[in-house]
Structure 1
Amino acid sequence: MTGNTGTSISRRGVLGAFAATVIIAAPTFSNAAGFLRGSGDVRRLSMFSGRTGERINTVYWIDGEYISEALREINLFMRDWRTSEAISMDTRTIDIMSASARLLDTDQPYQLLSGYRSPQTNALLRSRSRGVARNSLHMKGQAADLRLAGRSVSQMARAAASCRAGGVGKYSGSNFVHMDCGVVRTWGR
């Protein structure tokens, strides 16, 4: 693009300026969707699971519409691997994950550690760790615990927190980041 002054402006620069404006102007859930607007009206999610050996790389939103078949695929992928139970994942969480990956400027897939958790699985994990919430948003399909090759926990957490669209937990000792679409908050080291 060339302006009246002859200065060259790149698409990436315009999108970066737009994203920065969105962060400042509206610190709400709409920020995650705002970061995705520059993606050509396409939202994508790429993940793998070390527990099941499965991979997913799907476009789940095009031109303002979620693709129900892609969301079903994501729901199945993010199921409780211990019980094989799946529920509808909250699209707000999916959008936060996608926006964060876009901000990190990576083509690497997330490693999904935990998406949906059945109440039985959550109780089991609570019995083993004080860090598992009794009413975890995982049980509502509103949270994911993720790793990303080539990006640190701090980098991932900063990207997710910049969306100002939900909770972001840093678990540096276990090398993962928790992202959810609940109340905007951060925690961890």
Structure 2
Amino acid sequence: MTDSSSSLTRRGLLGAFAATLVTAAPTYSNAAGFLRGGGDIRRIRMYSARTGEHLDMIYWIEGQYIADAVKEVNYFMRDWRNDSVKSIDTRTIDIMTAAHNLLDSSEPYLLISGYRSPQTNAMLRSRSSGVAKNSRHLRGEAADLRLSSRSVSQIARAAASCRAGGVGRYSSSNFVHMDCGPVRSWGR
């Protein structure tokens, strides 16, 4: 079997899993257990209004990250301004997934910002005091996300309950920042 036919077979398998996946959302009290491997399958669902792309991807099965799936997540979360791609830290993807499951929503995240190139980060810093010079977005360790069916407070509480990284509330801009850095929170 060639690599391309193997990829198509794997993609078909992932599609079948995604079509039949039914999971119960963990409670806030066991969010950390989910991050440590409490789930057999991890699935991320997002769309980007900037690129028009949608992602519905199982990226982890039975304790193993699926390399091709993680590559697709990396590409999806690229800097859309210049198409720069960086590996997204899988801890951030896990936090995003755990928070989404805790919210018990079938709606995909709207990705506001994933990876940011140094040029994009500098441009955003020149326009806003809320953009960090050494942002975790530069390292592929952060995502800014929104769900129209949930409030900023609800999303931030779900992410914070994972106790696995930073959570920023940006209520006036209607998004939540999640990262895999030290546990901390900020914003309103």
TM-score range, shorter chain: 0.7 to 0.9
1:113 counterpart letter in structure 2: I
Q: How does 1:54-73 map to 2 (within 5 A)?
A: 54-73=53-72
Task: Give distance in 1, aligned partners of 2:44 and 2:108.
Answer: 8
Please tell me whether the aligned partners of residues 45 and 57 of structure 1 are also in contact (alpha carbons under 8 angstroms): yes
Task: Give distance in 2, aligned partners of 1:158 and 1:180.
Answer: 14
Tell me how far 1:32 sits from its aligned partner. 5.3
Tell me how far 1:149 sits from its aligned partner. 1.9
Alignment partner, residue 90 of structure 1: 89
1:33 matched to 2:56: no
Alignment partner, residue 164 of structure 2: 165
1:71 counterpart letter in structure 2: V
Give CA-to-partner distance per residue, 1:77-103, whole Å, 9 cap, x none.
Answer: 000000100011000000000000000
* Local SS of the residue matching 1:74: helix
Task: Give distance in 1, aligned partners of 2:107 and 2:69.
Answer: 19
Q: How does 1:10-159 map to 2 (within 5 A)?
A: 16=27, 20=29, 22=30, 31=33, 33-34=35-36, 37=38, 39=39, 41-159=40-158
Alignment partner, residue 182 of structure 1: 181
- Structure 1, unmatched stretches of 5+, are 1-10, 24-29
* Local SS of the residue matching 1:177: strand
* Local SS of the residue matching 1:165: coil
- Structure 2, unmatched stretches of 5+, are 1-22
Please tell me whether the aligned partners of residues 32 and 165 of structure 1 are also in contact (alpha carbons under 8 angstroms): no
Q: 1:31 to 1:181 in 2, by over 3 A?
A: farther
TM-score, normalised by the number of residues in structure 1: 0.84
Give CA-to-partner distance per residue, 1:73-126, whole Å, 9 cap, x none.
Answer: 000000000010001100000000000000000111000010000000000000
Task: Give distance in 1, aligned partners of 2:101 and 2:145.
Answer: 15
Q: Once the two structures are aligned, what percentage of the paired residues are identical?
A: 61
Count the aligned residue pairs: 166
TM-score, normalised by the number of residues in structure 2: 0.84
CA RMSD, aligned part only? 1.7
Please tell me whether the aligned partners of residues 31 and 164 of structure 1 are also in contact (alpha carbons under 8 angstroms): no
Task: Give distance in 2, aligned partners of 1:124 and 1:75.
Answer: 22
**Segments of 4+ moved more than 2 angstroms:** none
Task: Give distance in 1, aligned partners of 2:183 and 2:62.
Answer: 27
